Amino acid sequence: MNNHDGFLCLFGATGDLAGNKILPALLQWREAGMPLKRIWCLGRRPLDTAGYLAFIEDKGSIRLDPWLRERIEYHRLEFNEGEGYRALARRIHERGFSRDTQRLFFLAVKPEAFVSIAHQLHAAELVIPGHPSHRLMLEKPFGDSLKSADAIQQQLMHLLTEEQLFRIDHYLGKEMIRNILTIRFANRLFSESWHGGAIDRVEVTSIETAGVEERLEYYDQAGAINDMVQSHLLQMVALVAMAAPENFDPDSIRTAKIDTLNHLRIDPQDRQVVGQYAGYREQRPESTTETAVEAVLRVDTPQWAGTRFILRTGKKLVEKRTEIRLYYRPTQLCVSCAETVQAQANQLVIEVFPSEGVQLQFNSKTPGYEYDTEQVVAEYCHSCRMIGNKPEAYVKLLKDAWEGDKTLFAGFAELQAQWRIADAIRAACRKGGLVIYPPGAPTVLQANSQHEPPTMPVA
């Protein structure tokens, strides 16, 4: 069989991620020539395929087309029980798939289940260790600390090989995140001023107006540091701060990123803040889970001497926005040399959401007879140039995993470096207590200084 005859097994198929992201991505992938012959949607609910399709469509986030409906089969399975896996193996066999058929197992489940699922897949011979066409995609987070990530990895390595693992950080599949290296390295304008001498600070922001809502169970255990900082925000920092890779192949890029992540540190003079939106405890009394973070990091390399990297994320904040904003150091403008004018600092903004594009703020002469200076904005809209459906991050990731391309997946050494810094941020934040911020606050830090809400120790 060639790789146009394979199948996908989706664990956690009744969950939020499957309904909101993965099935819509499969629909889009199908429009872009998806090669899968069958998709097994796996869940523990007592449903048949028709019942599952109705369940998914009743949730309202997706309408499946006949082509996809025909390929989906629901299979009931409890993570820890071998019989469900053996029954799945029988069904796969009955459908004419062989031991060598290409297959992808997408684990849209909590990390505590990774090992038992891998163990059962191995026992049912659904995944053969080292088989190049048997692959697992693992949703983030991979663990909840460096220690637990190490433990998961160690156990997985008894069951399969690193080459078979595709650890997802779906931000890496986003157009503008994939554009960072091009913007940086394909433009002398930027590459030559990409250092601490020119850049005062880099703000990496991913904030939203929504609260935790139906993700409370998961979120209350994870918190904003594990949910956002450890993965998405640190990956963005790595892409912005990494030195030029030797080549633009996956290994060289990963090596450059790991090196940068290993040079991230917390400076004691910088304030690290965690907060929780007012009202959170109506859902989860006594909880000290952080719903927002503002962390300041330094990259301990000569290139980034003097630059602060500010990571900001949170729920129930003023707007939904994801961006990377570089604040250049201001420059002096000598007009008549008797008078020195400080021009406003340049800003370069890589916009990820709601718009996708680049903004460059620079100084220009105000039109007219005088030599006045004003800041103007040059804007590039990346998403405006896409015709038809904008490629969703999960489509790119599914396609790449299917094709065995690991460029956009986190290697284990990278992940270890991310956990090391996330653990350090958590420890530093604990010292400051938890700020209770009002929903709609601009940032957790500003909420603190403007409203002086009560703080409390973090558990």
Ligand X SMILES: NC(=O)c1ccc[n+]([C@@H]2O[C@H](COP(=O)([O-])OP(=O)(O)OC[C@H]3O[C@@H](n4cnc5c(N)ncnc54)[C@H](OP(=O)(O)O)[C@@H]3O)[C@@H](O)[C@H]2O)c1
The residue with tokens 């989906």 is 72
* Integer Cα distance of 314 and 228 in angstroms: 9
Our answer to whether residue 195 is catalytic in this structure is no
* Integer Cα distance of 121 and 86 in angstroms: 9
Using CB under 6 A, pick the residue from 6, 10, 14, 280 that binds ligand X. 14
Q: Report the nearest approach of ligand X to the CB of residue 212 (Å).
A: 11
* Integer Cα distance of 140 and 117 in angstroms: 15
139 near ligand X, rule: CB under 6 A: yes
Q: Please say whether the beta carbons of 381 and 349 come within 8 A.
A: no
Which residue is nearest to ligand X, using beta carbons? Answer: 15
Task: Collect all residues with Cβ–Cβ distance below 8 Å to 19 and sequence separation of at least 6.
Answer: 56, 59, 61, 62
Q: Report the nearest approach of ligand X to the CB of residue 265 (Å).
A: 27
Q: How many residues bind ligand X (CB under 6 A)?
A: 23
Q: Please say whether the beta carbons of 333 and 373 come within 8 A.
A: yes
Task: Collect all residues with Cβ–Cβ distance below 8 Å to 125 and sequence separation of at least 6.
Answer: 89, 99
- For residue 439, the one-letter residue type is P
Task: Collect all residues with Cβ–Cβ distance below 8 Å to 215 and sequence separation of at least 6.
Answer: 16
Helix ranges, 225-324 (H): 234-241, 250-262, 280-283
Max CA pair span of the chain: 87
Using the contact rule CB under 6 A, the part of the chain among 136-144, 193-201, 240-248, 444-452 near ligand X is 136-144
140 near ligand X, rule: CB under 6 A: yes
Using CB under 6 A, pick the residue from 7, 8, 12, 166 that binds ligand X. 12
Q: What is the DSSP letter of 383?
A: G
* Integer Cα distance of 449 and 438 in angstroms: 12
Which CB atom, from 44 or from 184, has the smaller least distance to ligand X? 44
215 near ligand X, rule: CB under 6 A: yes
For the record, the structure tokens of 24 come out as 């819509």
44 near ligand X, rule: CB under 6 A: yes
Which CB atom, from 108 or from 299, has the smaller least distance to ligand X? 108
Using the contact rule CB under 6 A, the part of the chain among 7-15, 289-297, 338-346, 390-398 near ligand X is 7-15
Q: 217 to 256, contacts with ligand X by CB under 6 A?
A: 218
Q: Report the nearest approach of ligand X to the CB of residue 42 (Å).
A: 7
Q: 18 to 37, contacts with ligand X by CB under 6 A?
A: 18, 20-21
Using the contact rule CB under 6 A, the part of the chain among 62-70, 133-141, 150-158, 250-258 near ligand X is 133-141
The catalytic residue among 122, 134, 170, 232 is 232
Using CB under 6 A, pick the residue from 8, 9, 10, 17 that binds ligand X. 17
* Integer Cα distance of 265 and 411 in angstroms: 21
Using the contact rule CB under 6 A, the part of the chain among 14-22, 24-32, 293-301, 389-397 near ligand X is 14-22
Pairing, β 321-328 against β 347-353 = antiparallel
Which CB atom, from 168 or from 441, has the smaller least distance to ligand X? 168
Residues linked to residue 39 through DSSP beta bridges, in sequence order: 8, 72
59 near ligand X, rule: CB under 6 A: no
Chain-centroid distance, C-alpha 233: 7
* Integer Cα distance of 251 and 247 in angstroms: 9
For the record, the structure tokens of 388 come out as 């038809």
Site string for ligand X, 81-110 (x = CB under 6 A): ---------------------------xxx
* Integer Cα distance of 11 and 312 in angstroms: 31
For the record, the structure tokens of 413 come out as 């050494």
Q: Report the nearest approach of ligand X to the CB of residue 227 (Å).
A: 7
Using the contact rule CB under 6 A, the part of the chain among 8-16, 67-75, 300-308, 374-382 near ligand X is 8-16
Using CB under 6 A, pick the residue from 8, 30, 40, 43 that binds ligand X. 43
185 near ligand X, rule: CB under 6 A: no
Which CB atom, from 141 or from 411, has the smaller least distance to ligand X? 141
Which CB atom, from 310 or from 395, has the smaller least distance to ligand X? 395
Beta-carbon count within 10 A of 359 CB: 17
- The contact set with ligand X (CB under 6 A) reads 12-18, 20-21, 43-45, 78-79, 108-111, 139-141, 215, 218
- Indicate which residues carry an active-site annotation: 232
